Amino acid sequence: MKKSINILFFLAIAAGLVSCNNGNDQRGTKGQGGLASNAAERVYVAPGEHDEYYAFMSGGFSGQLSVYGLPSGRMLKVLPVFSQNPENGYGYTEETKPMLNTSYGFVPWDDSHHPDISQTNGELDGRWIFINGNNTPRIARIGLQNFKTEEIIEIPNSAGNHSSSFITENTEYVVAGTRFSVPIPQKDMPINEYKGNFKGSLTFISVDQETGRMGIKFQLIMPGFNYDLSHPGRDKSHGWFFFTTYNTEEAHSLLEVNASQNDKDFIAAINWKVIEEYVNNGGGKMVPANYAHNVLDEHTHTATSTMLKEVLTVNPMDVPGAVYFLPTPKSPHGCDVDPSGEYIIGNGKLSADLTVHSFTKMLDAIENKKFDGEAYGIPILKFEDILAGVVKQPGLGPLHTEFDGKGNAYTTFFISSEVVKWKVGTWEVLDRQPVFYSVGHGMIPGGNSRKPFGKYFVALNKITKDRYLPTGPELTQSAQLFDISGDKMELLLDFPTIGEPHYAAAIPAELIAKNSRKIFKLAENKHPYAALNDSETKVVRDGNEVHIYMNMIRSHFSPDNIEGVKVGDKVYFHITNLEQDFDVPHGFAVIGANNAEMLIVPGATETLVWEPKQVGVWPFYCTDFCSALHQEMQGYVRVSPADSNIELSWSLGED
Amino acid sequence: MKKTLTIFTVLGVLLFMGCGDGEKKNTDPYEKSTPTEQTKVVSSVPASQRVDLTNKGIGPIKNVELGETIDMEMAAKGEEVYKMNCTACHKVDKKFIGPAPKGILERRTPEWVMNMILNPDVMTKDDPLAHDLLLEFNGSPMANQQMSEEQARQMLEYFRTL
């Protein structure tokens, strides 16, 4: 008996020691020392502790942008960008509907692909993140103080906005290239007259460094190829931008065969500084266009949409020295530039090898005019002259390459379903790891910058199959986290993602978390329908429009009894959240609303339209559990017949 | 044998204590949200009617000197601040969501009033009187409206005029 007690105490002491060690473990040193092989330990973020990185993953065909913590793989938030979001009313409220306006009218969905974080001097600065809408060409800017979509600009003369949105190293430009070439300007013409008549636009959108506001500086009107992906030059190649092309055959049908004929397609090298100078000196041609520019005002909490009517186009032939073609084998997809700016990697989807171009050799060939013919007047450089090296037969179906800042590159292979690590400069393969399954993009935090944070690699996989519990025929998407701090890549974690995560961008949490806003100040609220205190609450009729100036605080609406509304009225609930404390949003929902609920964060005003169709007394309530009396946070609207004489009245807490 | 057992027991206890005293204690957010045991103040008088002119509450305000006469300029500013930030829950002279500010200085110290405005989360949790007020007012929390000390002081002056 005594012996067993003794053993128990030994165990207790041992447990005490172990728990002490765990408690003293510092986040930054996790995965070091004796526990280095413990994958669980390395992705474990203890309750209440924070992840080391924010990872922004494209929401793919959900149209949104999802935010994950790394290394835990925990989803923190889905940020609505191009699609309506009933969870908070984005795209449903009067304030946010203009954000989704386009020249095609209200477009409440898109296919989001490639997020890119703003940079200063080639390093991530955490001010904004940009992402493209692929289907109805748009670029969005999300402010990382509020984690809100603050601006969306439509791209005219574009179709399938795929080689987007990538930024230059001081966020001078966000660049958007078209995947489809189309008639520019659009017109009614036979499809089979594509060749020579369709054009591809590459759009350079300038970014105001103070406000982040975007404006199209110029559109380069290129030959009718398909512009697949792009990346900026950096450091020594800053001032250049590189786009992969496919379908240099200019096929318009059965592209899987007809666009795979040429032995080599091109990477288009664009010297945007030269074009910028040309444009600044009055160059280019202003042409009619029609595209939406939507901007959220932080003080009115309201977005406005402006239709812009012209855009400046540039013919590459008019700007000598602006555009060159770098021959690149077999339908290159990814177009990636290493942190030094010297190497431009073209991943020929249908090629067995990776092609690495040298920026220095490219400049040399240009200077010595060593051209190998031209395409539509654009000089083609000689493949052999600009080649830095070839990574020989590393795998099948190369797509994208990322860099760790330590001289290594990581290329994803879709067909052979693996990630291959190779050495920049010697082109030797150092390691390969299988992924599950069929990886598209890969992502290293800061991978598209001069200073990558080479600790993790995230594989964004296209096929999920059996990786999680089955959920019928439709599955979630899948990402995988690798530790790349050692010689060999180590798989640490699988985690599910939304939509189809194309590209992603990640940044050390410390660069963003410290700037994150907690509340909007009521004193700065300039919403025209805000009721900033109780004396400003009212209900106003304007024809059949009824405007309710309402506010809310734990745990009531003011007013909460409204009479005099009639069938056929269009009722605007303008609601201000008077709370000034962190994490006290309130929600609002009213019976039969044909849109959504809305979530109103402290200090903000939002508006939901309700068109009552039936006589009666109808309830509304707070949807976000806000306090012990949340369930009491409710009210009524009396709806009378259309011909009723009942006057508008409103009250709170009176009989 | 017994001796070893005692030694191990002592050693074990010390080790566990060592854990508990770690720095982590202060940073663990779960510490905060664990319900603390409240000292039961048994009183038949409702908290809103209790008079306590010694308790200064918990918060940044340690000492307030009230002037002989009311500073009307400051009070006017206080009235503005009050109207903008407090009227959703407080009416001047009658109970609404929360208690009326009229006559508050007959029952509370100036420091207590300002700490209640500036530090309501901690007050309603750790100040026995504020805690009882929270219960009396159906658990409606006193919202933290992020007032500055200056604004709270202005409101205090305004309350003197009521």
Let me know: does A459 contact A447? Beta carbons within 8 Å. Answer: no
Per the CB < 8 A criterion, the answer to whether A118 and A125 are in contact is yes
**Could A523 and B1 be called an inter-chain contact, meaning their C-beta atoms sit closer than 8 Å?**
no
Tokens coding B13: 């206890």
Confidence of residue B42 (pLDDT cuts 50, 70, 90): low
Does the pLDDT of residue B104 top 60, yes or no? yes
For helices B2-20 and A2-24, what crossing angle results, to 10°?
Answer: 20
Nearby residues of A384 by Cβ (< 8 Å), 6 or more positions away:
none
Chain B residues in contact with A551 (beta carbon < 8 A): 88
**Domain edges within chain B:** 43-161
A173, A272 contact by CB (below 8 A): yes
Q: Do B140 and A627 touch (CB under 8 A)?
A: yes
Contacts of A584 (CB under 8 A, 6+ apart): A554, A577, A602, A626, B143
Q: Give chain A positions within 8 Å (CB) of B16.
A: 16
A466 shares contact with chain B (CB less than 8 Å): no
Long-range contacts of A513-516, Cβ-Cβ distance < 8 Å, separation of 24 or more: A513/A50, A513/A54, A515/A126, A515/A144, A515/A145, A516/A144, A516/A145, A516/A147
| Angle in degrees, CA B155, B160, B162, rounded to 5 | 95
User: Cβ contact (<8 Å) for A629 and B22?
Assistant: no
Of residues B28, B87, B141, nearest to A48 (C-beta): B28
- Tens digits of residue pLDDT in B75-84: 999 999 999 9
Report the topology of domain B43-161.
Answer: Cytochrome Bc1 Complex; Chain D, domain 2 (1.10.760)
Closest residue in chain B to residue A577, using alpha carbons only? B88
Contacting A residues, span 467-526, partner chain B, CB-CB under 8 Å: 519, 521-523
**Cβ separation of A581 and B89 shorter than 8 Å?**
no
Per DSSP bridges, beta strands A343-348 and A53-58 are: unpaired
Dig out the tokens for A212 from the structure: 């982040």
Q: Which fold has domain A527-651?
A: Immunoglobulin-like (2.60.40)
Expressed in percent and rounded to 5, the helix, strand and coil fractions of chain B are 55, 0, 45
Does A48 contact chain B (CB < 8 Å)?
yes
What confidence score (pLDDT) does residue A93 get?
A: 98
Cα separation, A151 vs A139, whole angstroms: 8
Which residue positions in chain A have pLDDT lower than 50? Answer: 1-2, 5, 8-35
> If pLDDT is split at 50, 70 and 90, which confidence band does B15 have?
very low
Report the residue of B31, B97, B118, B122 to disrupt the A interface, i.e. the one with the largest count of A CBs within 10 Å: B97
More confident residue, B143 or B15: B143
Element holding B112 (H helix, E strand) = helix B110-118
Q: Is residue B82 classed as helix, strand or coil in its secondary structure?
A: helix
Coil vs helix vs strand at A34:
helix
Instruction: Tell me the C-alpha distance between A353 and A391, whole Å.
Output: 6
- Residue B46 in contact with partner chain A when CB distance is under 8 A: no
Show the DSSP H helices in A219-309 as ranges. 255-258, 272-280
Q: What DSSP state is assigned to residue A317?
A: G
Count the alpha carbons within 13 Å of A460 in the hemisphere toward its beta carbon. Answer: 28
Can you say how many angstroms the Cα of residue A437 is from the centroid of all Cα atoms in its chain? 23
Residue A350 confidence (pLDDT): 84
* pLDDT at res. A129: 98
**Which helix (H) or strand (E) covers residue A363, if one does?**
helix A359-367
Q: What is residue B39's DSSP assignment?
A: P
Residues of B in contact with A20 (CB under 8 A): 15, 18-19, 22
pLDDT at residue A330 in the model: 87
Average pLDDT of chain B, as a whole number? 82
Whose CA is closest to A534, among A423, A650, A434? A650
Strand partners, A267: A244, A326
Residue-range domain boundaries for chain A: 53-513, 527-651
Q: Do A627 and B139 touch (CB under 8 A)?
A: yes
C-alpha of A562 from chain center: 42
Closest CA to A621 of A584, A574, A577, A586: A586
Structure ipTM: 0.73
Dist. CA A102–CA B107, nearest whole Å: 61
Residue A373 main-chain phi, psi, to 5 deg? 85, -170
Q: What pLDDT does A36 receive?
A: 52
Task: Give mean pLDDT, residues B107-126.
Answer: 96
**Using the beta-carbon criterion (under 8 Å), do B19 and A13 form an inter-chain contact?**
no
- Mean pLDDT for the stretch of residues B135-141: 90
Cα separation, A81 vs A499, in Å, equals 13
CB contact, 8 Å: A47 with chain B?
yes
Residue B92 near chain A (CB below 8 Å): no
* Burial zone of A279 (CB within 10 Å; 0-12 exposed, 13-18 middle, 19+ buried): middle
Nearest to A580 among B11, B16, B145 (CB): B145
The whole-number pLDDT of residue B10 equals 47
Residues of chain B neighbouring A627 (CB-CB closer than 8 A): 139-141
Region of residue A60 (phi > 0: left; psi between -120 and 50: alpha; otherwise: beta): left
Q: CA–CA separation, B48 vs B116, rounded Å?
A: 13
Which fold does the domain A53-513 belong to in CATH?
Answer: Methylamine Dehydrogenase; Chain H (2.130.10)
Any CB–CB contact under 8 A between B135 and chain A? no
**A-chain residues within 8 Å CB-CB of B11?**
13
Angle at CA A179, nearest 5°, toward A175 and A182? 110
Single out the residue of B40, B54, B45 nearest to residue B128, CA to CA.
Answer: B40
Q: Distance from B4 to chain A by nearest Cα, in Å?
A: 9
The verdict on B25 touching A (C-beta cutoff 8 Å) is no
Q: Does A105 contact chain B (CB < 8 Å)?
A: no
Side chain identity, residue A120: T
Which residues of B are less than 8 Å from A654 in CB distance? none
Distance CA A647, CA A337 (A): 68
Q: Which residues of B touch A533 (CB under 8 A)?
A: 83-85, 87-88
For Cα atoms A564, A569, A575, give the angle at the middle one, nearest 5 degrees.
75
In chain A, whose CA is at the least distance from the CA of B23?
Answer: A24
Measure CB to CB from residue B22 to each of A9, A13, A23 and give the nearest one: A23
Burial of A373 (0-12, 13-18, 19+ CB in 10 A): exposed
